Amino acid sequence: MRALVTTLRTRFSGQEDGGFTLVELLAAMGIFSILMAMISATMLGGMTSIGHIAKRTQQQVTYQQVSETVSRLLRYTVSPESPISAIPSAGKNAITFYSASGYGAANDRPNKVHVWFDSATKLVKMTAMPAVLNPDTDGLASTADSWTWATPTAADTRVLMKSDTTTSPINFSVRVRCNVAPCPTRPVNGDITPVTETALTIDSKEFFESVVVTVGDASDPVNCITQQVRLQNTYPLGTG
């Protein structure tokens, strides 16, 4: 290397007019190629890292938006009328509940909300159907005013987010509390959520306390958002 540098210095100083030899040119080109490869690798690595950071940031924004949307609806969970349950069915990746959050065009009546993960399309979807009031026509107590909800169609379905895999990016945990002894045997945290969405049955001494919503990779706390939504409107009077 020292000999090459000395030769190049001699050439550029004008002390020798013979020009560069082929070996000298090849050596210089080789050194230049090595330097360019090193610079390119550094730049490519930096661009890749920036791409990963941008994707992760966008994921976090999406997780936050989905979590806030679902949590806001859950926060106003209500039982529309007896004997309709506030949360008629749920599973680890799906939940159906009634919400008085004022979502949608008809904000003066409870919505029947369904949130679920469609593994076939890898989409988290949601429907929120407003109640239709069936008025009492004969004045008899047996046919009092009641609510009904239309069956959702594809046009009523809103896509909340898309997953890269068939693993659900949204998970639910429905929890109950008992306020009158003796209480049914339940897990310590009161979780009654089945694996797949099925009808939920609770004891007359129990009430729906909260729903834990996890959006993102539940196995990676850094890459998910978890909120425990307390269902204020399902608490019996006098319960703290």
Per-residue confidence (pLDDT) for residue 212, from 0 to 100: 97
Mean pLDDT value of segment 23-31: 83
13 pLDDT more than 80: no
235 pLDDT more than 80: no
Mean pLDDT value of segment 64-93: 92
pLDDT-based confidence at residue 88 (cuts at 50, 70, 90): very high
Per-residue confidence (pLDDT) for residue 128, from 0 to 100: 93
Domain positions in the chain: 65-234
Query: Per residue in 113-167, pLDDT tens?
Result: 999 999 999 999 999 998 887 765 555 544 456 788 999 999 999 999 999 899 9
10 pLDDT more than 70: no
If one compares 9 and 231, the residue with the highest pLDDT of the two is: 231
pLDDT-based confidence at residue 67 (cuts at 50, 70, 90): very high
This prediction's pTM:
0.74
The DSSP result for the chain, as a single string, is -HHHHHHHHHHHHTS--S---HHHHHHHHHHHHHHHHHHHHHHHHHHHHHHHHHHHHHHHHHHHHHHHHHHHHHHTB---STT--SS-EEETTEEEEEE-S--SS-TTS-EEEEEEEETTTTEEEEEEEEEEEE--SS--GGG--EEEEPPP-GGG-EEEEE-SSSS-SEEEEEEEEE-SSSPPP--TT-B---SS-EE----TTEEEEEEEEEEE-TT-GGGEEEEEEE-GGGSPTT--
pLDDT-based confidence at residue 43 (cuts at 50, 70, 90): confident
Query: Per residue in 193-224, pLDDT tens?
Result: 999 999 999 998 899 999 999 999 888 888 89
Per-residue confidence (pLDDT) for residue 240, from 0 to 100: 52
Q: Are strands 123-134 and 198-199 parallel, antiparallel or unpaired?
A: unpaired
Burial class of residue 193 in the structure, from the number of CB atoms within 10 Å of its CB (0-12 exposed, 13-18 middle, 19+ buried): buried
